[in-house]
Every structure is written in structure tokens, then in C-alpha cells.
Amino acid sequence: MSDFSATTCVRAAVGTDQSYGAVIPPLHLSTNFTFKGLGDRRKYDYTRSGNPTRDILGETLAELEEGHGAIVTSSGMAALTALVHLVDADQLILAPHDCYGGTFRLLTALHKQGRARVLFLDQGDHRAFENAFTSGSEKVGLVLVETPSNPLLRVVDIAAISAICRRHGALLAVDNTFLSPALQRPLTLGADLVVHSTTKYLNGHSDVVGGAVIAKTAELSERLTWWANCLGITGAPFDSFLTLRGVRTLSARIRLHEENAAAVAQLLSDHPAVAKVYYPGLASHPGHALARSQQQGFGGIISFELNAGIAGVHAFLEGLTCFSLAESLGGVESLVAHPASMTHASMAAEAQARAGITPQLLRLSIGIEATKDLICDVRLGLDRVHALRSQPRSDIDSVSRAATY
């Protein structure tokens, strides 16, 4: 695997303006483009089908992921929508049982309508995964992988899954949102497609909603481009312009995210108020060795379980000053989310339980604030939880009954 190119991030399309010599490529907001004459179409005719600003972003993402081409979509969910259109309705999609709640909602709805056949399973269970290809009558057309997964940061072996997919003629798509190409490049490990919510680390400033799918081959790239245009889910030029601006600082930002996350993860693992920490950067994480082998870093997302129930969740959240209670992740600012009631609320309680999402689970998106400020904020929150645990059981139970989501 080649080294990630911070230079590509910074220099993407710099100095390519042929009209005025602008250093940064101009923003093309036009809905449509003139024809040279009857039957004489220029490169662009209508922005849904193609736009210079959006294409620059797509070309940059394809280069960063070492792919052939990319589509840029209006959201991460739009990217997934384009992806599932690559397989026939009678083909099976294998998805992770602990995937992002929005992904679970989309695939479940398509399955119920008969528009797709979906099986959710633990992709770390190699026997169950292999059996899914041979135990039923349906042909597996697509395997969707999240690694690390959202929100429990489970790590699966991309190269091993890729080998199985190749044997059975299935496409492998990897959601790389949590790491970005700065820390993981699935196409170099055997994946056919990479999916991103560009809203997250690629943009990095919590001011754009977008998505992308990067294809390994020209044939897949052409099919994705056709579907994106057909479905009308391509991204807006201004959003593409802002996302490209974010990409220019990706390499610098990701280092700070990761440095801060390592410090916070160590604090969490040492504190008595925490029952369990999910962060592949910790040697205690079951996927640590695998993460080291296929990633170039461990990222800025940490999930953890408190040992005081819902009352403990409230105690931790109330009083935080450096973490905003909000969904999404990957921005420069630190966020905290309660997956059971926020990002994964669309999953039924039974599905949450199978995935391991408990009421006392919290997910942190570590920003680039001063490390000492983040550590202080988290420590004070954990101390509040620990103080709560010292109260009589009857007092904790009364708080838990009042603190419901």
C-alpha cells in the first residue's frame, strides 16, 4: 500500500483555471451549459449529469482512494442508494449487524418492499459469513462492510473478505467514513468500492452534507455514474466546493483527531466509572492487531459504556463544555452521541441488542481542541458518574426512572 498523499489533498486542481489564473479552481453554479450548436454538445450540458466543480472533487477522492473514478452524491445515504442499485433485486446483500442506523433503516425498508434481499450478520464470524454464500439459494451480489463499525468500532479483515467475495463473484464495498483515505484505503486491500459520508472527516467542518462512492474499475465507475444521474442524487456544486476545501486540510486534521483520541481513550480505560471502551488503538481491543495491519492509524471515534445505567449517562452529559450532544462525527469540534436514542434509534430494540448497542453506550467524536481541555472535560464527567455510583441504590434507581430517552 502506498503512502497517503497529503500533497494530493492540498494541490487538487490548484492552478487549473484557464480563464483568469485563479489559484483555487472556480465554483461553477450554473444549472446548465450551452451547446456549441445543434447536435454539438460540450463536455457538460446539465449539472445533475455533470459539473466541473463536482468532478474535481470526485477526481480528487478517486486519486486519494487509489480508485478509477468516483461519484459525488447529495448525502452519505444517497451514496448507499446508488451502491445498492449495482445489484439485482433477487441477489443477496450481506450487511453488518452493527452497521450505522441509517444504513440499517434503508436496507431493511428495501428488503421489506422486495427491492433488495438483505441479510445482516456478524461479519467477524468467519463460519457464518462463509455459510451465507452457500447455505441458501440466493446468490450474494454485494457485501457491505463497515470497518471500524459504527458505533462499536469492530474491525474486520478486508483482504480476507475480499478473497471470499472473489471466489463467489460478489462485489465488496467498504464504508470508509470513520477513517478516510488518510488512514485506510480499502481498494488496495481488495475491495471493489469505497463508500463515504463526505459530511464527516473529508469535509471536516460540519457545514456540508454529502457522500461519495469510489470505484476500482472503469466499468463500475460508469455504472455508478449512470445510476447517480438516473436517480438524481448527485451533489450540489457549492457543497462540492466546500468539501474540496475541507479535503485540503484532511492530513493535518486527522493527526490531531487521532492524538486527542488516544489520550481520551486511555483516560476512559483507566477510570472506574467506565465498564468498557471500544477503540482499536488500545492494545486491549480485540481488533487491535488487525487494525494495525490494514490501517495507517486508529482514527478519532471512541465508544464506551458507563457502569451506572441511564442515570450515569445523564450525569456524564450534564456539565460537558467541550463536547456537544449531537449526531454526526468527524468535524473539528468534539461531539458526544447516545447511539440507542440518536444515531441508531431507527433500529428495533432487538436489533440494537444483537448489535451490542446498550442504553449506557456513548460515542465520542474527538475534535481538534486542546488535548488538556478535552481530558479535563471527560474526567469531570466520569467523576460525576462515579459519584453517582456512590449513592444509595434507591437514589440511583429513582434517577434512572426519571432519566429516560
d(CA 387, CA 214): 48
Report CA-CA distances (Å) from 71 to 60, 80, 209.
Answer: 11, 11, 15
Grade residue 390 by pLDDT with cuts at 50, 70 and 90. Answer: confident
Q: Is a pLDDT exceeding 70 seen at residue 393? A: no
Given the candidates 3.90.1300.10, 3.40.47.10, 3.20.20.370, 3.90.1150.10, the CATH classification of the domain at 250-402 is: 3.90.1150.10
Residues recognised as catalytic:
48, 100, 175, 200
Q: Mind listing the pLDDT tens digit for each residue in 366-384?
A: 999 999 999 999 999 999 9
Please check whether residue 127 is in contact with residue 66, taking contact to mean a CB–CB distance below 8 angstroms: no
CA torsion angle 382 383 384 385 (round to 10): 50
User: Dihedrals φ, ψ of 21, to 5°?
Assistant: 75, 25
pLDDT above 70 as % of the chain: 96
| Sheet of strand 324-325: strand arrangement | 274-278, 301-306, 361-365, 335-337, 324-325
Please check whether residue 54 is in contact with residue 235, taking contact to mean a CB–CB distance below 8 angstroms: yes
Query: Of all residues in the chain, what percent are helix, strand and coil, respectively (each to 5)?
Result: 40, 15, 45
Please check whether residue 170 is in contact with residue 141, taking contact to mean a CB–CB distance below 8 angstroms: yes
Report CA-CA distances (Å) from 286 to 43, 155, 297, 361.
Answer: 50, 8, 16, 18
Please check whether residue 148 is in contact with residue 301, taking contact to mean a CB–CB distance below 8 angstroms: yes
Q: Mind listing the pLDDT tens digit for each residue in 142-201?
A: 999 999 999 999 999 999 999 999 999 999 999 999 999 999 999 999 999 999 999 999
Domain positions in the chain are 6-247, 250-402
d(CA 228, CA 81): 9
Grade residue 5 by pLDDT with cuts at 50, 70 and 90. Answer: confident
- 6-247 belongs to CATH 1.10.3720.10: no
